[in-house]
Amino acid sequence: MAEVILLGIDGSPNSERAADMAADHAKSTGRRLLVAHVIEWSPYTFNTPEENEVRHKRREEEIDRAEAHVVRPIVERLKKAGVEGEIVVRHGHAGEVLSQLAREHDVKQIYIGRIGQSRLRELLFGSVAGSLVQISPVPVTVVP
């Protein structure tokens, strides 16, 4: 199986910088590039019955919207840099899903942008970068 570089994006400007770095890495090593976007979702929430009724439909919509607005622009950017990116959109917690993907594919390195949330939010809820670095099975590059 070809070696893979995993790029985690969230639509912020940091993602673009991370994408650029990941593209460079992919070009110089000849590794495949996997572009992943994680839609924050928890299996343990309390919903109203109406939310559950339409959840299946909503999920599809969320994935389509993410693919169109978050992932496609990055893939276009990568194409311009001469790199083909494979797309993955999943629900879950960003840190966990990226680690999971790293295990599923032969991922050698993960690139993510540092989200740069407010200090308070980071303190209270943790950051994706922070949690991923703790649990990732492979090296992680956090691009500011």
Partner 1 sequence: MLLRLTALLSLLFMPALAHAQEAAAEADGIDAAINNAVAPISDAIAAVIFFTVPIFGVDVPLIVFWLIIAAIIFTFYFNFVNFRAFFHAIELIRGDYSNPKDAGEVTHFQALATALSGTVGLGNIAGVAIAVSLGGPGATFWMIVAGLFSMSSKFVECTLGVKYRNEYPDGTVSGGPMYYLSKGLAEKGMGGLGKFLAVFFAICCIGGAFGGGNMFQANQSFQQLVNVTGDEASWFADKGWLFGLALAILVGVVIIGGIKSIARVTEKVVPFMAVIYLGAGLVIILINITALPEAVMLIITGAFSAEGVAGGAVGAMIQGIRRAAFSNEAGLGSAAIAHSAVRTNEPITEGLVALHEPFIDTVVICTMTALVIVITGMHQTGGEIGGVELTSMAFGQSISWFPYVLALAVILFAFSTMISWSYYGSKSWTYLFGESRTMDLIFKFIFCVFVVLGATMDLSAVIGFSDSMIFAMALANIVGLYILAPVVKADLDSYWSRLQTGEIRKYA
Dist CA 135 CA 100 (whole Å): 10
List the interface residues with partner 1, window 20-39 (CB under 8 A): 39
Answer yes or no whether residue 56 interacts with partner 1 by CB under 8 A: yes
Answer yes or no whether residue 124 interacts with partner 1 by CB under 8 A: no
What does the block give as tokens for 45?
A: 């929430």
Answer yes or no whether residue 48 interacts with partner 1 by CB under 8 A: yes
Answer yes or no whether residue 131 interacts with partner 1 by CB under 8 A: no
Closest to 138 measured CA to CA, from 25, 17, 39, 28: 25
Minimum Å gap between C-beta 81 and partner 1 is 30
Binder of partner 1 out of 50, 118, 120, 124 (CB under 8 A): 50
Closest to 89 measured CA to CA, from 76, 104, 72: 72
Closest to 90 measured CA to CA, from 132, 142, 54, 38: 38
Dist CA 15 CA 8 (whole Å): 8
Per-residue binder mask for partner 1 (CB under 8 A), 80-119, x = binder: ----------xxx----x--x-------------------
Q: Which residues of the chain form contacts with partner 1 (CB under 8 A)?
A: 39, 41, 43-57, 59-60, 62-63, 90-92, 97, 100
